Structure 1
Amino acid sequence: MEAHLFKDCIVPTSSGYREYHIMTRWVSYLLYLYLLATLLVLISSVLNYRLLTDVQHGVYLAAESVDSDVQSSQLRLIGALLFSLAAAVVAGTGVLLWTYRAVYNAHQLGSKGLQFSPGWAVASYFIPGLNLWKPFQAMKELWQTSLSTASGWSRIRVPGLMRLWWGLWLVVLLLGRVAELLTNRVEQLLALRELAVLYGINALLSLPLTLLLLYLIRTIQRRQQAQYQALPSDDSGDRDSRASAVSQTTSPVVPGQ
């Protein structure tokens, strides 16, 4: 099944460019799944926080009822978190595969001076310290070269939405780290409430973060496809020798477009 879904990404064209619109579509579906999981975490966090607040204010009179409701609420939140984690792993894997293919195609379309190879663009997510800005630079290169493959592509400005996407990503990572530290004292009611708040904020920020990522990957894939289709072809269908010429004649896009 997997080979069928991504078969257009496995079989290269004559120019070396590899179609990946089906991959982009399925990565989008996985991101939608993650959006659903994130929404469930947000709802569960709000309900859990409200319950713990009621307990703290003495709304519950029967101890047995308190224990039962708190346990049910915690289990609901844990279930939502596990679902979110599984969706994040699957969607994240899809995004990494998409990144590899998009960077590969950027090279095939004739862009010169790229700092990232396909493997380096993926590996940058896993190197401590460097993963705080290198993945953003890789996505920035993809955005710029999707607008123009001419020599001046590096001067093209990226939209503020891309910077917002990466800023949200860093905040979500930080909140996740703080949540890990709080789990050391989850036996305290206050700590449970704090965790519920952190999970809720994290989920709330993850919603626009994921939507922005969806916009970026769809836009980049669509523009790369348009570049490929615009390459002149001859009877043999060999576009390799044409890609470099196109990269030299394509005018840079006006900054800010």
Structure 2
Amino acid sequence: MNLIRPNEQRAKTAILMIWIVLALEIISFFSSYLQYDLLKSVSSGSAVSNSEISANDLREGIIGFLYFALYLISCITFIRWFRRAYFNLQLKTDYLSSSDNWVAISWFIPFICLYKPYQIMKEMYTKTNEILFEEANQTKAITTSYLGWWWGLWIISNIIGQVVFRTTLNSDNIDSLTSGTIVSMVGNVISLPLSLITVKVIKDYSDIEHLLIEVKGDKIITSTENTYLNPEF
């Protein structure tokens, strides 16, 4: 018997974490601007006290730590939702190009992570549309038109993150610190459209995923039911 698992709560949790990280991105932007202003003051020869420098470093350190922790949690909640959605879809079709395990693993393999998650997401969208049209007589469809923007912004955001990390790690003068701060602020700005599109990606699919229940008369498995087919991740 093919029993799909509930995924609505995972979608809500993933979306909530994206909003939280976005809020921290905004805070980080203003914090980086304060650091940029401080660095420009130092560069121009203006008097800057040690207490101002220490306060800046402490603020940036706290924000950096919180961002790392919350971003990691956000990634986990997104992948958990993504994997569950793909798993449920597997139960409704004879063939998909990947397994639900690959949904998680593909994000962490060099080079493959640059294209595979996008391919899986697009396949999930298009295959769900096909199944609902052909087997459930549903006319509601989800578009894949913005998935390219979603993935493009994700790649750009990660490139910027790598630049910021390497610049900060190798910063040994005011100019390099200033450059790293500017790039960090650009990354904060990019995160706004990326977050909005990612929320749309999750919400659009979540809004239509429940319709898969009507295909072949299947039902959602409750949290108290167990089956070897259902990943707990």
Output the CA distance in 1 between the equivalents of 2:142 and 2:203. 19
Q: Name 1:100's counterpart in structure 2.
A: 83
Structure 1 residues 226 and 133: alpha-carbon distance in aligned structure 2, compared to 1, 3 A threshold: same
8 A contact 1:143–1:220 mirrored in 2: yes
Q: Name 1:231's counterpart in structure 2.
A: 215
Structure 1 residues 94 and 157: alpha-carbon distance in aligned structure 2, compared to 1, 3 A threshold: closer
Name the SS for the 1:215 alignment partner.
Answer: helix
8 A contact 2:17–2:73 mirrored in 1: yes
Displacement of 1:191: 1.4
Amino acid of the structure 1 residue aligned with 2:73: V
TM-score (norm 1): 0.76
Q: Deviations over 1:147-177 (max 9, x none)?
A: 221799xxx9953321111111111111122
8 A contact 1:42–1:203 mirrored in 2: yes
Max Rg structure: 1
8 A contact 1:27–1:91 mirrored in 2: yes
Displacement of 1:182: 1.4
After superposition, residues 127-146 of structure 1 pair within 5 angstroms as: 127-146=109-128
8 A contact 2:125–2:144 mirrored in 1: no
RMSD of equivalent CA atoms: 2.4
Q: Name 1:85's counterpart in structure 2.
A: 68
Displacement of 1:232: 6.0
After superposition, residues 1-257 of structure 1 pair within 5 angstroms as: 15-58=2-45, 60-61=46-47, 65-108=48-91, 110-149=92-131, 159-228=144-213, 230-231=214-215, 233=217
TM-score (norm 2): 0.83
> What is the aligned-residue identity percentage?
22
Structure 1 residues 79 and 157: alpha-carbon distance in aligned structure 2, compared to 1, 3 A threshold: same
8 A contact 1:24–1:98 mirrored in 2: yes
8 A contact 1:49–1:196 mirrored in 2: yes
Amino acid of the structure 2 residue aligned with 1:231: V
8 A contact 1:179–1:198 mirrored in 2: yes
For structure 2, the 5+ residue unaligned runs are: 135-140, 221-233
8 A contact 2:11–2:81 mirrored in 1: yes
Amino acid of the structure 2 residue aligned with 1:126: F
8 A contact 1:45–1:200 mirrored in 2: yes
Output the CA distance in 2 between the equivalents of 1:17 and 1:157. 20
Name the SS for the 1:19 alignment partner.
Answer: coil
Displacement of 1:184: 3.9
Query: After the TM superposition, which of the residue ranges 127-136 and 211-220 deviates more from structure 2?
Result: 211-220
Name the SS for the 2:110 alignment partner.
Answer: coil
Amino acid of the structure 1 residue aligned with 2:178: R
Output the CA distance in 2 between the equivalents of 1:51 and 1:239. 59
For structure 1, the 5+ residue unaligned runs are: 1-13, 241-257
Say which structure, 1 or 2, has more relative contact order (CA 8 Å, 6+ apart).
2
